[in-house]
Structure 1
């Protein structure tokens, strides 16, 4: 039995057709990102842990479970135990899933292993660039968020609780999370990819705000600071 292939089929059954941008194809891209990053990493690592964590990282996301961050690791553990995975592998995968997610601008999410850093980078790469833009609007629509409201200013949340609970707009999500991810990548391979995708988002937001006559908005002022750095 190939536990990675079995896990692929399990996750595909579970997440196919999901509507918020956290579907099987998101998982498939994150998995592919992991393979690419590992291929450019010379350090010794546990490839199986990376593959399993990338496949299971959204199996029960807190965003769809009333903010409960313990559900994902629990579901992953139950699945891996059913596949007779080694306890050391199970613990490592579950720790990665527990630590993975973005928790607000003022809250760091450090990974405890190189394997975790790779999975975190791979997941965050799928949140930026053209795909990230598409996923942001898919999730915003799924949650019933406003597309853009110039009267609602972006907030750099200091705690995970603030980040989870405060209602936002899809455009604000770029300023509250997506534009911050480039500087939070862990691996050289991911940093290289992130730089290009980050610039793509800046260009998109510049056009979006101009089309909304938003050059004088606080959003555009914040964006201008990013443009100066790029």
Structure 2
């Protein structure tokens, strides 16, 4: 349906697609578009505002702290700037930027709870794209981008207690499964998210077990 709301969403989508078309760390347009679609599906199943969830999903990575020296204020600022340019009301901007500010995982000991159902749907969608087969590929893509080792048997995973410790960490890509990815299943907000996360998590666990077997370090 060609409503003003749909036209707004599509304009924002075109802006984000252009901005992230050549990104190669796993935080590209295709990631954002997958999160967008998942967020719509989950929002519809959970009775949330589908358009609000989609809009927030489109801008959720507009300025990720990982690419801005750990500054997690950059994302909400950039999201607000884009939405303001598009004539979005302040109430909608406030809702979207709160989702952007809260969406990221920031350590095993840090809980980032969303205030709205729409935020919970978008956070679940983003976390689902971090796990499963796509999540495995994105983990190693980002690890290579960040100059991290694929694996070091002498380096144990760290359960970071604070956001500061998590942001400063330079652990291996394989450790990231233990430090974040395996934890996401139990941090899903919605019934829809939890149902999807089960199979994806099992897939990752099977992958890591096979990885360690082929490496030559049998898993205990």
TM-score by length of structure 1 reads 0.92
Q: Equivalent residue for 2:27?
A: 22
Contact 2:44 2:50 in 1 (8 A): no
Q: Does 1:8 align with 2:13?
A: yes
Q: Equivalent residue for 1:210?
A: 213
CA RMSD of aligned residues (A): 0.9
Local SS of the residue matching 1:90 = helix
Q: What is the count of residue pairs matched by the alignment?
A: 215
Q: Equivalent residue for 2:126?
A: 123
Distance 2:30 2:54 in 1: 15
Distance 1:146 1:84 in 2: 44
Equivalent residue runs for 1:33-48 within 5 Å? 33-41=38-46, 43=47, 45-48=48-51
Local SS of the residue matching 1:145 = coil
Distance 1:165 1:57 in 2: 21
Q: 2:181 aligns with which of 178, 182, 193?
A: 178
5+ unaligned residues in a row in structure 1: which ranges? 222-230
Equivalent residue runs for 1:44-55 within 5 Å? 45-55=48-58
Following superposition, the deviation at residue 39 of structure 1 comes to 2.6
* CA-to-aligned-CA distance 1:126-161 (integer Å, 9 cap, x gap): 000000000000000001110000000000000000
TM-score by length of structure 2 reads 0.96
Local SS of the residue matching 2:151 = coil
Q: 2:75 aligns with which of 72, 75, 85?
A: 72
Q: Which runs of 4+ in 1 moved over 4 A?
A: none
Following superposition, the deviation at residue 99 of structure 1 comes to 0.5
Q: Does 1:165 align with 2:168?
A: yes
Local SS of the residue matching 1:40 = helix
Contact 2:40 2:51 in 1 (8 A): no
Change (3 A) 1:120 1:191: same
Q: Equivalent residue for 1:226?
A: none
Q: Equivalent residue for 2:117?
A: 114
